[in-house]
Amino acid sequence: MSDDLVSAGVLLLLVLDPFGNIPIVLSALARVPRERHRLVVARECLFAYVILLAFMAGGTAFLDLMRLSQPALSIAGGIVLFLIALRMIFPTPEGVFGDAPGAEPFLVPIAVPAIAGPSALAIVMLMASREPSRIGVWVLALSAAMAVTLFVLLGAQRLQRALGERVVRAVERLTGLVLTAVAVQMLLDGIAAFVRQSGGF
């Protein structure tokens, strides 16, 4: 059980990608009062954790009920991520997410899709559907991965102070380029999966 727990935890941590999400978190919190940063990060991580647990417990049934496919989830997530990436590369006066000054992110974009994105949702659903008898191990692995994610994202503000505003801005734009490629790959994967399910053209 311990080997499965470690491997599942590492896999989930890679999918949650806390270090890759630091620029997104910093951008989302840029117009939020500094004293609120830690509370907002903790709240958004809690939201993401609850969403992932919900999808682990009944995500497949929910998608079936709504007649939604995993390719549709991947394509929708890719579109949202692509729009966010474009704003990171080409910043506007309203900020990356178009929020008013002082507005706090709520669910979007930190909890979803930055942390609980399509890949993370698909992984937890896959774990639960393949071996439902080991749901306790998967929940424990998710909890450990989310604890590490919370710890890393709570330190995002200190990282910003250590690197400086210009370096963070450069990293943000570079991350936008990477996220653009990730978004396109998610779209291509979703389209390819849809074509396979449909039996081709």
Confidence of residue 132 (pLDDT cuts 50, 70, 90): confident
Percent of the chain with pLDDT over 70: 89
- pLDDT at residue 103, as a whole number: 66
Report if residue 151 sits inside a domain: yes
For the residues 64-77, what does the mean pLDDT come to? 77
Report if residue 31 sits inside a domain: yes
Q: Domain span at residue 79? A: 2-196
Q: What angle do CA 175, 89, 78 make, to 5 degrees?
A: 65
Give the rounded distance of the alpha carbon of 201 from its chain centre. Answer: 32
How many folded domains does the chain comprise? Answer: 1
Report if residue 32 sits inside a domain: yes
Q: What residues does 108 pair with on adjacent strands? A: 106
pTM of the model: 0.69
Report if residue 117 sits inside a domain: yes
Report if residue 201 sits inside a domain: no
pLDDT for residue 92 is more than 90: no
